[in-house]
Amino acid sequence: MTQRDLTTIHTPVLRGRVVELLAPALKPRTDASSAAPVYVDCTLGMGGHAEAVLERFPQVQLVGIDRDADAIEIASERLAKFGDRVRIAHAVFDEFEQVLDDFDIAEVHGVFFDLGVSSLQLDEAERGFSYMQDAPLDMRMDRTRGQTAADLLDSLDEAGMRDLFYRYGDEKLAPRYASAIVRARAVAPIRTTGQLVDILQQATPAAKKHAGHPAKRVFQALRVVVNRELEALESALPQALARTAIGGRVLVEAYQSQEDRYVKRTFAEITTVDAPRHLPVLPDQLQAEFKLLTRGAELADASEIDDNPRAKPVRLRAVERIRSTNA
């Protein structure tokens, strides 16, 4: 792997706020017999958020999960200074419970998801995530398994492609783009990002060419499906919530609307009391298990967006467990 400057390779989004929200759950234990707090970074990436947490809370034990072997290599180097406080698993975050079981961990005190594509994946042209550089049409976060974006485009009929662009990219020109791709692949296979971008640009009406890059939403839709991103989140988040200790906190940074809607809906369900209004006293077993820590979704401020434009679409939500499932 190319030598990289670990201090500049990646700027974690809302790093300070993430640490602040986690602080009450990860603060040092006053009881000497208490186990060290466990923090699970479900999207370890290059270790920026994890490094900040480990530096702030010297008792915390980290479990880092990532599917990208290149990211794990970088994070392992970055976090080596923390020694045996760090355990890393090469896995998708919907394997959350299995990872904890493998490390013999029953419950955790902080969980963080930083969803979407990473700077490493976007900036390395050969990964095929960027529509700004020509490269093989891959888009797999874990290059050791699964179909590529090129494979996906080969396998879909026009209706399936149109639905994919609508559902996962909110792409209004989905019918036009799907039709253009089907016509183009009948002439020659689509194997590179450059080929796909050319097809989409040619299919975009002149009146729409000013409304952002025509490939942006199509590339997002392909990436989400290739990596099972929404499916993995829908499996992983309930697992994380179930293994969170009382007083523990779960934070999610989402960058696209479908993921954020799922997180918002899930957090609303677990923080809402479902009981008849006429009850004078609410029994413990009917109390909500979690409480919201953020009012709506928190956004990056203007100064952070100026420093790191990739922070602009972030939506941060957080909850804290206040009651045991068995209470």
Bind-site residues for S-adenosyl-L-methionine: 47-49, 66, 93, 114, 121
Kind plus residue range of the DSSP H or E element containing 38 = strand 38-41
Instruction: Compute the radius of gyration of the chain from its Cα atoms.
Output: 21
Phi and psi at residue 98, to the nearest 5°? -65, -40
Sign of CA dihedral 193, 195, 196, 200: positive
Left, alpha or beta for 202 (phi > 0: left; psi -120 to 50: alpha)?
A: alpha
* CA 257 – CA 264 distance, rounded (Å): 10
Three-state secondary structure readout of 152-185: HHHHCCHHHHHHHHHHHHCCCCHHHHHHHHHHHH
Q: How far is CA 180 from CA 128, 148, 164, 185, 191, in A?
A: 20, 20, 15, 9, 15
Among 115, 10, 107, CA closest to 67: 115
* CA 68 – CA 266 distance, rounded (Å): 27
Among 7, 18, 94, CA closest to 314: 18
Q: Number of helices and strands (H, E) in the chain?
A: 13, 7
Please give the annotated binding residues, written as ranges: 47-49, 66, 93, 114, 121
Contacts of 212 (CB under 8 A, 6+ apart): none
